[in-house]
Amino acid sequence: MTDSFDVLVVGAGPGGYVAAIRCAQLGLNTACIDNQVNHKEEPALGGTCLNVGCIPSKALLESTEQYHKLIHSFPAHGIKTTKASVDVPTMQKRKESIVEGLTSGIAQLFKANNVISIHGFGRLTMDNTVNVLDKNGKISRTLLARHIILAPGSMPSHLPTIPFDHEFVVDSTGALNFEKVPKRLGIIGAGVIGLELGSVWNRLGSEVTLLEALDDFLALADHQVAAEAKRQFAKQGMNIHLGAQVNKLSKSRTGLAIHYTEKEKESSIDVDRVVVAIGRRPATEGVVSADSGVGVDDRGFIQVDDECRTNVPNVWAIGDAVRGPMLAHKSSEEGMAVAERIAGGKPHVNLNIVPWVIYTSPEIAWVGLTEKQLQDAGHDIRVGSFPFAATGRARAMEEPNGFIKMIADARTDRLLGVHMVGPHVSELINECVLAMEYQASSEDLARTIHAHPSLSEAIHEAALAVDKRAIHRVN
Please list the active-site residues. 452
Among candidates 335, 351, 348, 315, which has minimal Cα distance to 25? 335
Contact 286, 280 (CB under 8 A): no
Peptide bond connecting 453 to the previous residue in cis, omega within 30 degrees of 0: yes
Peptide bond connecting 362 to the previous residue in cis, omega within 30 degrees of 0: yes
CA distance 192 to 204: 19
> Which residue stretches of 236-361 are H helix?
328-342
Identify the three-state secondary structure at position 91.
helix
Contact 278, 193 (CB under 8 A): no
Length of the chain: 475
Among candidates 292, 299, 249, 302, which has minimal Cα distance to 271? 249
Contact 400, 388 (CB under 8 A): yes
| Number of neighbours of residue 410 by Cβ within 10 angstroms | 13
Residue 212 burial (10 A CB sphere; 0-12, 13-18, 19+):
buried
CA distance 3 to 293: 22
The CA-CA-CA angle for residues 459, 463, 465, to 5°, reads 115
Among candidates 411, 408, 371, 405, which has minimal Cα distance to 473? 405
Q: Characterize 274-312 residue by residue with b for buried, 16 or more Cβ atoms within 10 angstroms of its Cβ, and e for exposed.
A: bbbbbebbbbbeebbeeebbbebeeebbbebeeebbbeb
CA distance 239 to 208: 6
CA distance 162 to 273: 13
Contact 331, 14 (CB under 8 A): yes
User: What is the distance in angstroms between the CA of the first residue and the CA of the last residue of the chain?
Assistant: 72
